[in-house]
Structure 1
Amino acid sequence: MSIEIENLLLIMVVVWSTGMLFRAVKLPLILGELLAGLIFGPALLGVFHETESVKILAELGIFFLMLHAGLETEPKKLLESSRLGLLIALAGIVLPFGLGAGISFLFNASLVQALFIGVAMSITAISVTAKIFKDFDYRNSEIKNLVMVAAVADDILAFILVSAILTIATAGTMTTAEVGLLFVKLIVFFFSIIFIGEKLINPVLKKFFCSSGGKAFTLTLIFGLLFGVIAEKLGIHFVIGAYMAGLFIKEELVSEKIFQKIEDRLFGLSYSFLGPIFFVSLGFAVDFAVFSEPGTLAFLILILLGALVGKVVGAGAAAYFSGKGLRSSAIIGFAMNGRGAVELILASIGLEAGIITHEIFSILVFMAFFTTFITPIALKFILPSGQKPDLIGS
């Protein structure tokens, strides 16, 4: 037990240290956590060890990250949003998805692997995007709202795609018609849960929250776990259930004060304790040896380029041809480019489910690191004067 505690202590000390460093240079903290896992994990220095307690805490980290991601998502914005926001989301999915799948086929990936890589390249990290706008104090509310609406639609569509891919992988072989029908079923199921089920679930939740006697956070966890169990019973991964549970935990169900407490506790567990352990643990599965093969290195380079070009050009072009200026379109394109927790969680799920290999997993981790690293640096040069923070730190 003492070895387990020492291992966790080392992980948390390094997470805190890298967090201080990355905060000083105004880069997303998730990069520091990934880097810590890569450098101090088995791949390089071997200081951290993948013990049973780390595995369990990392699994809990996935649950809390997805529950919090759902809490931050406002699906109703999709109905209230302009067509441009949805168009940007669609363009920001289609191009990187097509590039990801196409590049994967060039390197002899299976159909399921190619689809999975395409989806992983299509995701926009809402939390990373929101944090970048906050750090940059970007005041153009129209552009900000467009990007956030597009990011919400982007993630919801990506989850539908991932659910379909996991179902296809479990089923083994499916005809084109069966795959098409599956997508339709998942889309109907997802939006039915959000927009119809909400009318049934919210009143029940409100009643429970009102009578919870100060245990609102506990009730939130129960609800998240319940949706996770239901999702697994339906053949969907439990993290999809946790994400969907978060969609229903809204301020109108409880007082503003209680909702803020729930959000603060979820955020603390997600990004200060369990989440960082999960991100560090991802580095344990990365295999640097695979990049010694010329073919794998070429695969990595093309995926990095495809991820960058797909998002920036796809989302940016949709904005530009809809009447936005060149600078505004570039801001939208690069703001949609950041990947983060969700993409890494999906990579972890794919590896665990046997859909992707360690080689592909390593490529996806590097892709998330690269795009999240390059996004704030690119925006530093694109944003109007007066809204460019000092990335070197004060």
Structure 2
Amino acid sequence: MELLKDLTLILLVTTIVGHYCTRIGIPAVIGQLLVGVIMGPAILGWLHLTHELDSFAEIGVIILMFIAGLESDLQLLKRYLKPSVLVAALGVLVPVAGSYIVARAYQLPFVESLFISVIFAATSVSISVEVLKEMNALSSREGTTILGAAVVDDVLAVVILSVLVSTTGTAVGDTGSSNLFITTIEQIIYFAAIYFVVRWVAPYMAKIGEKLMIPMGSTLMAIILCFGMAYVAELVGLSNVVGAFFAGIAISQTTARETVDHHIEPIGYALFIPVFFVSIGLNMSFKGLGHQVWFIVILTVVAVLTKQFGAGLGAKMAGFSWSSSMAVGAGMVSRGEMALIIAQIGFQAKLMSAMRYSAIVAAIILATLLAPFLLRWTMNRVEKESQREKDEMKSA
């Protein structure tokens, strides 16, 4: 069976590469991304992103974001809501402007340029979550702001995409303004319903899980809630990771939090999460990119810098130090699966030419590969600055 061969190969190689990456101080997620690039169509061609692998990868990112929500502090998320909104807003506006200018400079049509700018407005925080977890900084003010901003960023990107697709008339199904209005209402209802899930549904499900006479009853109920909220999020036009993240937050407020956390991490990290990170690299292909090298390089640089400084400026305006602001900006740089999904939607809706599609995917993956290095470097600066301030206080 082809799937078993692919999974064996992925798990074997990512285990070895992850071990040595950690040993030399490189985020393990970088090794997993590179495994996908090297073993995929871009270089060796040993692995291809089949429907089965893509399904495993989707479950992987859902579990990863569920764990992020599970390990988040709800009070901290509330406390850093204002910085999160500022970071997300500027982290969308600046990349939209920068990417649009690059596309127009290459004389791309107006609609295609606008769509490319929407792609690079998106943030995929799953990779940042992994790096922050490795550094034990997920619950830091920088980590909390990144998580909050990523949710707002997701919503903004989806809204902009919906408006663009519905107003061009070239989309599959041509949704129209009435459907856009309905979708917006559905999303508002979804976010309102999250309060009831956190307040009543999750505690009730946790109690049922504790009474079930089967192994890991609490964890099974948590997974049901996670997948259910992820599914409904997709139904209303949001990313499934938004639903998974809030499901994690909901379970984190119950007595089952520690039990679920203890059980869910082995399930995710032993199988699904490595497949997700490898799948991003499998999207990379060098075929037909030779004459677009400078377009890819310039777009990648602009994608990284605009997100870094746009989101970082939002953090600075919210009162963060420059080093913390740059760390927050670095945490928002990764585009990952969110940008790839938007690119695919636009390609199917004929908002982007086939020639540019491969170049865009290459720029997304390059930006995603750079993101963990930037985040680790900036977070290390934050730690050094914090330690220096503590030493100065002691000496005073």
Match of 2:342 among 342, 350, 363: 350
Give how far 1:253 is off.
1.7
Alpha-carbon contact 1:285-1:358 (below 8 Å) kept: no
Match of 2:270 in 1: 272
Which residue does 1:309 correspond to in 2?
305
Could you say which residue in structure 1 is the equivalent of 2:188? 188
Specify every segment of 5 or more residues in structure 2 that has no aligned partner in the other structure, as ranges: 166-171, 389-396
Q: Deviations over 1:135-156 (max 9, x none)?
A: 8xx9xx9xx41x2332122111
Taking the TM superposition and a 5 Å limit, the aligned residue runs for 1:238-317 are 238-250=240-252, 252-255=253-256, 259-294=257-292, 297-317=293-313
| Residue type of the alignment partner of 1:9 | T
The number of residues matched between the two structures is 368
Identify the residue that residue 5 of structure 1 maps to in structure 2: 4
Aligned letter for 1:241?
G
| C-alpha distance after superposition, 1:155-183 (max 9, x if no partner) | 111221344356454663656x986x578
Q: Which residue of 2 aligns with 1:362?
A: 362
Q: Tell me, yes or no, if the aligned pair for 1:164 and 1:182 is still in contact at 8 Å.
A: no
Q: 1:392 maps to what in 2?
A: none
Once the two structures are superposed, residues 66-85 of structure 1 have per-residue CA deviations (whole angstroms, 9 ceiling, x without a partner) of 43344344555343337455
Q: Does 1:373 align with 2:366?
A: no
The alignment-based identity, stated in percent, is 21
Aligned to 1:391: none
Q: Deviations over 1:352-390 (max 9, x none)?
A: 5436733322221111101222332455567537969xx
Give the letter aligned to residue 288 of structure 1. F
Give the letter for the 1:307 counterpart: A
Distance 1:304 1:121, change over 3 A: farther
**Is 1:100–1:306's contact at 8 Å kept on the other side of the alignment?**
yes
Of 68-77 and 26-35, more deviation after overlay is shown by 68-77
Check the 8 A contact 2:297/2:363 in 1, yes or no: no
TM-score normalised over the length of structure 1: 0.77
- 1:281 shift after superposition: 2.4
Give the match for residue 212 of structure 2.
Answer: 212
Following superposition of structure 1 onto structure 2, how do residues 102-141 of structure 1 map, counting pairs within 5 Å?
102-107=101-106, 108=108, 110=112, 113-120=115-122, 126-128=128-130, 130-131=132-133, 133-134=135-136
Would the aligned equivalents of 1:91 and 1:314 in 2 still touch at CA under 8 Å?
yes
Describe how 1:24-103 pairs up with structure 2 within 5 A: 24-51=23-50, 53-74=52-73, 76-81=75-80, 83-84=82-83, 86-103=85-102
Residue of structure 2 equivalent to 1:148: 143
Q: Distance in 1 between matches of 2:73 and 2:309?
A: 26
Q: Is the 8 A contact 1:210 1:254 kept in 2?
A: no
What is the identity, as a one-letter code, of the residue corresponding to 1:330? Answer: S
CA contact (8 A) 2:234 2:240 kept: yes
Map Cα deviations across residues 77-119 of structure 1 (whole Å, 9 max, x no partner). 3433374554344433432343234434545362673353233
1:20 matched residue in structure 2: 19
Gaps of 5+ in 1: 389-394
- What is the alpha-carbon distance in structure 2 between the residues aligned to residue 92 and residue 124 of structure 1? 16
- Cα contact 1:96–1:311 (8 A) shared by 2: yes
Offset of 1:39 from its aligned partner? Answer: 0.8
Aligned counterparts of 2:49 and 2:147: Cα–Cα separation in 1: 33
**TM-score normalised per structure 2:** 0.76
Q: Verify the 8 A CA contact 1:123 1:155 in the aligned structure 2.
A: yes
